[in-house]
Amino acid sequence: MSLTIGPYVQGEKQAPLTYQFLDSDGNAINLLGYSAKFSYQEHDGTATVANATVSDSANGKVTYTFTGAEFATAGHYRAQFWTGNNVIRFASVDLLFDVAVSVGAAPSI
């Protein structure tokens, strides 16, 4: 299973991305005491792992705040959120997105 997000353009710094972990019945997984990571990679390239936060533990929500470095090159990307508590670990569905070439360099705004 996958979810398409974006599209994005080189140089963008998007608003934070939030994902909700659900069990097989569609109920939120309580993430109290869990930590989170966000992994992304261009097609079959090397993955980058970044810190994310458990933003709403009772409702199973994790959030990644973009730094602006994620969309350095154009291409087809996939990403996943990971969350765990050193005993249990969950991965999100694949998050698929494209990054397009920008028209010129991203401005300083």
86-101 per-position pLDDT tens digit:
999 999 999 999 999 9
Distance (Å, whole) CA 88 – CA 76: 30
Domain that holds residue 27: 2-100
In a domain, 109, yes or no: no
In a domain, 12, yes or no: yes
Number of compact structural domains in the chain: 1
In a domain, 77, yes or no: yes
Reported as a single tens digit per residue, the pLDDT across 17-65 is 999 999 999 999 999 999 999 999 998 889 999 999 999 999 999 999 9
For 67, how many CA atoms within 13 A lie in the half-sphere containing its CB? Answer: 9
- The enclosing domain of 78 has a CATH number of 2.60.40.3350
Q: Residue 1: which pLDDT band, with cuts at 50, 70 and 90? A: confident
In a domain, 13, yes or no: yes
In a domain, 42, yes or no: yes
The pTM of this model reads 0.91
